[in-house]
A and B are shown apart, each in its own frame.
Chain A
Amino acid sequence: MSDALQLGDRTFSSRLLLGTGKFSGREAMIAAIRASGAELVTVALRRFNHDHDDDICAPLASLAGITLVPNTSGARDAKEAIKAAELGRELTGSPFVKLEIHPNPHHLLPDPIETYEAAQVLVKEGFFVLPYMPADPVLAKRLEEIGCAAVMPLGAAIGTGQGLTTAAMLRLIIRDARVPVIVDAGLRSPSEAAATMEMGGDAVLVNSAIAVAENPALMAEAFAMAVKAGRLACKAGLMPQSETAVATSPLTAFLTEVA
Chain B
Amino acid sequence: MIGTRPASIDPTPWLDLAQHADRALVRQALAADAPGEREMAILLSPAASAELEAMARRAQALTRRHFGRTIAMFAPLYLSDYCSSSCTYCGFSITRNIPRNKLTVEQMETEFAALKKMGIEEILLLTGDRHSAAGFEVIRNAVERAARLFHSVNVEVFSMTGDEYRGLAEAGCTGMTMFQETYDPAVYAGLHLKGPKSNYDWRVHAPGRALAAGIRTAGLGALLGLTEPRGEMISLYRHAVELQRTYWRGGVSICFPRIRPQTGGFAPTFEVDERMLAQIVFAFRICLPDTPLALSTRESPHFRDGIAGIGISKMSVASKTTVGGYSPATEHSAAQFEVNDDRGVDEFCAMLRSKGLEPVFKNWDGVYREPLAAHAG
Q: Which of A50-79 contact B (CB under 8 A)?
A: 52-55, 74-77, 79
Whether A84 touches B372, Cβ cut-off 8 Å, given contacts A25-B353, A47-B360, is no
Determine whether the beta carbon of B362 is less than 8 Å from that of A23: no
Residues of chain A contacted by B250 (CB below 8 angstroms): 105
Determine whether the beta carbon of A212 is less than 8 Å from that of B291: no
Whether A74 touches B249, Cβ cut-off 8 Å, given contacts A25-B358, A47-B360, A105-B217, is no
Considering the complex, give the chain A residue whose CB is closest to the CB of B345.
Answer: A53
Determine whether the beta carbon of B367 is less than 8 Å from that of A159: no
Q: Is B349's beta carbon under 8 Å from chain A?
A: yes
Q: Is B119's beta carbon under 8 Å from chain A?
A: yes
Determine whether the beta carbon of B359 is less than 8 Å from that of A54: yes
Determine whether the beta carbon of B370 is less than 8 Å from that of A54: no
Q: Is B266's beta carbon under 8 Å from chain A?
A: no
Determine whether the beta carbon of A48 is less than 8 Å from that of B357: no
A109 to B27: give the CA distance in the assembly, Å.
Answer: 31
Residues 128-155 of chain B: 1 if any A CB is under 8 Å from the residue's CB, otherwise 0? 0000000000000000000000010000
Determine whether the beta carbon of B248 is less than 8 Å from that of A103: yes
Determine whether the beta carbon of B68 is less than 8 Å from that of A21: yes
A160 to B290: give the CA distance in the assembly, Å.
Answer: 10
A144 to B357: give the CA distance in the assembly, Å.
Answer: 39
Residues 1-38 of chain A: 1 if any B CB is under 8 Å from the residue's CB, otherwise 0? 00000000000000000000111111010000000000
Determine whether the beta carbon of B358 is less than 8 Å from that of A24: yes
Q: Is A208's beta carbon under 8 Å from chain B?
A: yes
Q: Is B363's beta carbon under 8 Å from chain A?
A: yes
A107 to B249: give the CA distance in the assembly, Å.
Answer: 11
Q: Which of A170-219 contact B (CB under 8 A)?
A: 208, 211-212
**Distance from B270 Cβ to chain A, minimum over Cβ atoms (Å):** 30
Q: Is B64's beta carbon under 8 Å from chain A?
A: yes
Determine whether the beta carbon of A45 is less than 8 Å from that of B244: no
Determine whether the beta carbon of A23 is less than 8 Å from that of B68: yes
**Distance from A177 Cβ to chain B, minimum over Cβ atoms (Å):** 29
Whether A74 touches B68, Cβ cut-off 8 Å, given contacts A47-B360, A52-B362, A54-B361, is no
Residues of chain B contacted by A208 (CB below 8 angstroms): 65, 68
B: interface residue count bin: 35 or more
Whether A105 touches B251, Cβ cut-off 8 Å, given contacts A53-B119, A159-B65, is yes
A23 to B71: give the CA distance in the assembly, Å.
Answer: 11
Determine whether the beta carbon of B68 is less than 8 Å from that of A160: no
Determine whether the beta carbon of A24 is less than 8 Å from that of B356: yes
Q: Is A83's beta carbon under 8 Å from chain B?
A: yes
Contact of B364 among A74, A87, A104, A108 (CB under 8 A): A74
Determine whether the beta carbon of A54 is less than 8 Å from that of B290: no
Whether A49 touches B121, Cβ cut-off 8 Å, given contacts A24-B358, A211-B68, is yes
Determine whether the beta carbon of B65 is less than 8 Å from that of A76: no
A48 to B365: give the CA distance in the assembly, Å.
Answer: 8
Q: Is B179's beta carbon under 8 Å from chain A?
A: no
Q: Is B368's beta carbon under 8 Å from chain A?
A: yes
Q: Is A89's beta carbon under 8 Å from chain B?
A: no
Determine whether the beta carbon of B68 is less than 8 Å from that of A80: no
Determine whether the beta carbon of B119 is less than 8 Å from that of A22: no
Residues of chain B contacted by A22 (CB below 8 angstroms): 64, 67-70
Residues of chain B contacted by A48 (CB below 8 angstroms): 362, 365
Residues 327-366 of chain B: 1 if any A CB is under 8 Å from the residue's CB, otherwise 0? 0000000000000000000000100010011111111110
Q: Chain B residues in contact with chain A, CB under 8 A?
A: 64-70, 119, 121, 151, 216-217, 244, 248-252, 290-291, 349, 353, 356-365, 367-368, 370, 372
A-B contact pairs, 5 of them (CB 8 A): A47-B362, A79-B370, A105-B217, A105-B251, A159-B66
Q: Chain A residues in contact with chain B, CB under 8 A?
A: 21-26, 28, 45-49, 52-55, 74-77, 79-80, 83-84, 87, 103-108, 159-161, 208, 211-212
